Structure 1
Amino acid sequence: MLIATLSECRVEPGLLREWRLDEAPFDEAARRTGGAVPPSYNQEWHLRTVSRLAGRGQDVPPWIGFGFELPGPLDAGAFRETLRTWVVRHETLRSAFRVTDAGVERFTVAPAGVSVRDTVVAELSAGDDIPGRLQARIDAAAGAFRRPSHVVETVERADSTSVFVAMDHAHADGYSVMAAVAEWQQLYAAARAGGRPSALQPVGSYGDFGLAERAEAQRTGAGDPAVGRWRRFLAAGGDRVFRFPLDPGPTDGELLPHGKLDVQLLDAPGAEAVEEVCHDACGGFFAGLLAAAAIVSHRFTGEPVYRTVVPVHTRSRPELLRSMGWYIGLAPVEIGLGAADGFRELVPVAHRSLRTALRTGRVPIVRIAELLGLAEDWERRMPDVFPFVSFIDTRVIPGARQWPEWNARVLVRSRTRGSKVNIWVHRGHEGLRLTARHPETETAEASVAGFADGLRDVLHGVARTGDHIFASRPSTTGGTP
């Protein structure tokens, strides 16, 4: 599934209609004095960041979403029921936030209070800026403190309907929006047939997860292994851990408009060949990807240790696998190249570091910052503290085979701002694809393109020959490659 901005989406003209939940139940719930709970750690940090950036004049809604197509004319009644049922299923979508003297609180509307209203906006023609119209409406509706902070836009035609669902990042991560496409297809088909889709199992509550995560994190002390790993990572890497290995252009904290790069790294047979090499080397595919990134980083920088941060999922129970929410932790990865002659020998090194990272990421990064006394410094670096490399094998997500048929896309806002380079790598049925977000400067564009080209070269070589041998063994002290 492609990660796309609305400006990259081809949308045929049609009737633009907006679908939202009735705000009255949210307003009523906000006035109640009881029942409110703290937001999750991710939500808390996100909301503080949104508020601080708005105070600096950077009022850019950080929403995330998904788009897809429905065949034939839209059944408005079935679509309304689809949205209602989806929100009832996922508790976070019935939640909103309020600011009190004690801080930010989360409150929730009961399932019985969920009702949907729709508004016909305009008949769009071929001459209209359709992506711009869609983004303007989503920006206005999907703010962090809106109630609710999600919206659905449809562009309806006689033979098809384009659907765009967007929500503030507080309520979803990348996996959530990918999994939601098939769920919407199932719910809509069932609503049109007058029944309920039997294949959809109950899902867990992100709100309950956030409370349990917070309680567990408060029991974590400064002597916890995860805190020690972060402390050593930061001490060894210094300021370099806050910057992309190649020159990203702006100084840390300078918020520039983002640019975007999309490249195909491998086709499906190539990805299978690399996976086989990784397994033979006693590692997984993600470990192989990080090993290749370490090789490329060393090629450009001469550094003998590759350090980066990786997102790790925190969906620790089966009922959370299909739950909407921000189930993501962050963890440090360190890959030393000094004892390896090539890719095959580096894979198990990366694999061990990644296994450690998966355990480390269970402790929320906010709690890590608190225990290290770095909360104020890290908040100053937001919206992204670290550049990261994210990997998802999308083949395991329900409905992935049908994404091309549905024209499914992950949606992100265009013209966000930041100072970091973030990389998402998705392995799908069609192969391996990289999407990077970077500051929109010539320096950053060249650096990210060079890194992606190097990554593709290494992986292609591994797929073709079964290994990638270093031109010279990396030293243990750095220097030129």
Structure 2
Amino acid sequence: MDFIQILDAPIRPGGLVEWIPAVAGGLGSWRRDDRETSHNHEEHLRSAFEYRARTHREGGRESWLGLSVEFDEPMSVPSVRAAVAAYINRHEVLRSHVVLKADHDANYLTERYTTAPETVQLKMARIGWYTETPLLLEQIAGSFDRATAPLHWPAYRFATVARPNSFTLLFAADHSLVDGYSLVTAHHELSELYRAARDRRPAQLESSGSYLDFSDAQRREAEAADIDHPAAQTWAHFVQRFNNQMPANPLLNPSAKVASPSSLRDLRPGVVTADDAPPMPVQPSRTALLLDEAAAVRFEDFCAASGASLVGGLLGALAVAFREACGADEFAVVMPRHTRTDRTWLHSLGWFVGLAPMVIDVSDDPTLAVAACRSTAELTNSRHGADLPFLRVADLIGVTGSPHMVFSYMDTRASPKSDIGDAGAARVLRSHSYADDEVYVWANRTPGGLRMHARYPATGAENVPTFLDDFASLLARTANGR
């Protein structure tokens, strides 16, 4: 399944309708929920709160994830309404809202409110008929940008684009509500809920645990952890190598950056200043099928013969390409790792992600086989880094900042109907981003092979395209036995 920036989505023109969730009486009719907020969610809200205080604008457009699902049949309006309502009822995180409060000493408090199933209604807003895809995507992107601001409910939006004999169903949500695995699963769930409503039968879906229950349990466990926790120790050892801060990314040229608003303003919640920094350009992105299924299998065989895992092989290839692109002696990277450690959360909508830091030695110009083995060992050594949310780790070890080099891996082959999605029936979407100091690379193993998606700064990143080219070329040569 492709994972692409919204403005690159190949959505055919048609009649655009937005489906807007609402609850009678607004948040005043919701109940106070004592379940704790996850650290991931709180950290995300802090960032949005500080952005709003600094700029007098909402923060949402840089952090939403979404999905488009294609249906090869005329759209049934009642069935879409029923499917979307059922999806909201199924996932409690879509019927909950966290209010963030802060005092002048920068102390944060969170309050959660929740509404019961069947209380969310959908307002159908007909936007208009579009005959050109670029104009359609601009409208959808702008709407999703505004609708997913995390400090408000709902921080998500559904839309449909209908044509005489087909339609596209779209869903976007702030990152605090979803992660990549959530959206891979959402393809099957939304398709099944629509067809069940159309055929007037019960939907055939496995049960789904509530992310609110997970958040509460994870929060309480994390708050009980101390500096001796394996996650805190893993991160402490990592940042100690870089003067107790996040390592810089030598692929990037700091002198060529556009000044970031966050680097120019006091971020304390009590400080409200106008944002007169120059607007930052949108990050370029790249999407490619690196290896088809046959080549991906051959690369997996190479990794196994080398004593490495597939993920280790991919990290090893990135490390070798990194060395070639910038001459660095080590490849420092942060890797998101899912925290769906129990089957209860397998089909849950939420942000089930921890972060694990790694450093791979490439000072001796290793072969890919050697780099893959080192990376595989480092995956094992660093795995505990994701056992605590990073906000809690940061509190424990006193580190600030965010990663500048991130690699994410997902294997979607076991997901329901993943072969259909991979053939073009669904795509994971993401908002455009403006960060000037981070490089993200996603690798997805799908039924059709191995896909890469990447984004990087618009300025000061001249080495990144070469790095990505070298990575792709190394994989292709290895899979072809060269």
**TM-score, structure 2 normalization:** 0.88
Partner of 2:48: 50
Cα displacement (A) at 1:308: 0.9
Distance 1:457 1:16, change over 3 A: closer
Structure-2 separation of matches of 1:325 and 1:114: 19
In structure 2, the partner of 1:436 is: 454
Amino acid corresponding to residue 64 of structure 2 in structure 1: W
Query: Deviation digits for residues 419-460 of structure 1, max 9, x if unmatched?
Result: 21111111222322221111112x41x322111111122222
Contact 2:419 2:448 in 1 (8 A): no
Q: How many Å apart are 1:405 and its aligned residue?
A: 5.1
Counterparts in 2 of 1:126 and 1:348: CA distance versus 1, 3 Å: closer
1:225 counterpart residue number: 230
Structure 2: runs of 5 or more not aligned: 103-107, 262-279
Amino acid at match of 2:43: W
Seen in structure 2, the aligned counterparts of structure 1 residues 368 and 253 have a Cα distance that, compared at 3 Å, is: farther
CA distance in structure 1 between the aligned counterparts of 2:293 and 2:85, rounded to whole angstroms:
38
| Residue in 1 that maps onto 2:371 | 346
Match of 2:168 among 157, 162, 181: 162
Cα distance in 1 for residues equivalent to 2:241 and 2:258:
19
CA distance in 2, matches of 1:128, 1:422: 25
Residue 261 of structure 1 pairs with residue 275 of structure 2: no
Per-residue CA distance 1:214-252 (angstroms, 9 max, x = gap)? 111122111122212211111113489543341255559
Partner of residue 477, structure 2: 461
Q: Name the amino acid aligned to 1:272.
A: V
Partner of 1:399: 417
Supply the distance in 2 between the matched residues of 1:448 and 1:414 (Cα, whole angstroms). Answer: 18
> 1:112 is paired with a residue of what secondary structure?
coil
Q: Which moved more, 1:77-86 or 1:17-26?
A: 17-26
2:352 aligned residue: 327
User: Offset at 1:154?
Assistant: 0.9
Q: Is the 8 A contact 1:391 1:424 kept in 2?
A: yes
- Change in CA separation of 1:341 and 1:449 when aligned onto 2, cut-off 3 Å: closer
RMSD of aligned residue pairs (Cα, Å): 2.4
Query: Unpaired runs of 5+ in structure 1?
Result: 379-383, 467-481
Determine which structure has the larger helix proportion and give its number: 1
Verify the 8 A CA contact 2:159 2:171 in the aligned structure 1: yes
Equivalent positions of 1:313-324 (< 5 A) are 313-324=338-349
Cα distance in 1 for partners of 2:351, 2:153 equals 18
Structure 1 residues 213 and 128: CA distance shift in structure 2, 3 A: closer
Partner Cα distance (1:462, 1:400) in 2: 26
Q: Partner residue of 1:471?
A: none
Give the TM-score normalised by the residue count of structure 1: 0.88
Tell me the secondary structure at the aligned position of residue 459 of structure 1.
helix
1:124-144 superposed Cα distances (whole Å, 9 cap, x missing partner): 344982111112222232211
Cα distance, 1:349 vs. partner? Answer: 1.9
Q: CA separation of 1:244/1:341 partners in 2, compared to 1, >3 Å: closer, same or farther?
A: closer
Q: Per-residue displacement from partner, 1:378-399 (whole Å, max 9, x unpaired)?
A: 2xxxxx4432011112222222
Offset of residue 190 of structure 1:
0.8
Question: Residue 118 of structure 2 aligns to a residue in which SS?
Answer: helix
> Could you say which residue in structure 2 is the equivalent of 1:477?
none
Structure 1 letter corresponding to 2:419: R
Distance in 1 of aligned mates of 2:290 and 2:157: 34
Q: Which amino acid aligns with 2:69?
A: F
Structure 2: distance between partners of 1:438 and 1:369: 25
Q: Name the CA distance, whole Å, in 2 between partners of 1:160 and 1:276.
A: 41
Q: Which moved more, 1:287-296 or 1:297-306?
A: 297-306
Mean CA deviation greater in 171-180 or 275-284: 275-284
The percentage of aligned residue pairs carrying the same residue is 28
Counterpart contact for 1:72–1:159, Cα < 8 Å: yes
Mapped contact 1:241–1:307 kept (Cα < 8 A) = no
**1:367, CA displacement in angstroms?**
0.9
Q: Distance in 1 between matches of 2:397 and 2:311?
A: 29
Which residue identity does 1:437 align to in structure 2? R
Displacement after TM superposition at 1:29 (Å): 4.0
Q: CA separation in 2, counterparts of 1:426 and 1:44?
A: 28
Match of 1:151 in 2: 157
| Structure 1 pair 281–126 and aligned structure 2 pair: CA distance change class (3 A) | closer
CA contact (8 A) 1:25 1:113 kept: no
1:434 and 1:127 mapped to 2: Cα distance? 24
Q: Which moved more, 1:36-45 or 1:55-64?
A: 55-64
Tell me which amino acid in the other structure corresponds to 1:170: S
State the distance in 2 between where 1:6 and 1:224 align: 39
SS at match of 1:56: helix
Deviation at 1:41, TM superposition (A): 0.6
Aligned partners of 2:245 and 2:443: how far apart in 1?
22
Q: How does 1:383-422 map to 2 (within 5 A)?
A: 384-404=402-422, 407-422=425-440
Quote the residue 2:136 is aligned against: 130
Q: How far did 1:253 drift? A: 7.8
One-letter amino acid of the structure 2 residue matched with residue 168 of structure 1: D
| 1:28-66 CA-partner distances (Å, limit 9, x unpaired) | 345x5x424432111000011112123333744221110
Which residue identity does 2:463 align to in structure 1?
S
Count residues in correspondence: 454
Give CA deviations for 1:341-379 in whole Å, capped at 9, x if unaligned. 5222332321121123322211111111001122xx32x
Alpha-carbon separation, structure 2, partners of 1:238 and 1:300: 24
In structure 2, the residue matched to 1:372 is 397
Return the match for 1:118 from 99, 115, 124.
124
CA distance in 1, matches of 2:448, 2:42: 37
Letter in 1 for 2:468: A
Are the structure 2 counterparts of residues 126 and 35 from structure 1 closer, same or farther at C-alpha, using a change threshold of 3 Å?
Answer: closer
CA distance in 2, matches of 1:418, 1:104: 30
Residues 248 and 269 (structure 1 numbering): CA distance in 2 closer, same or farther, change over 3 Å? farther
TM-superposed deviation, 1:107? 1.6
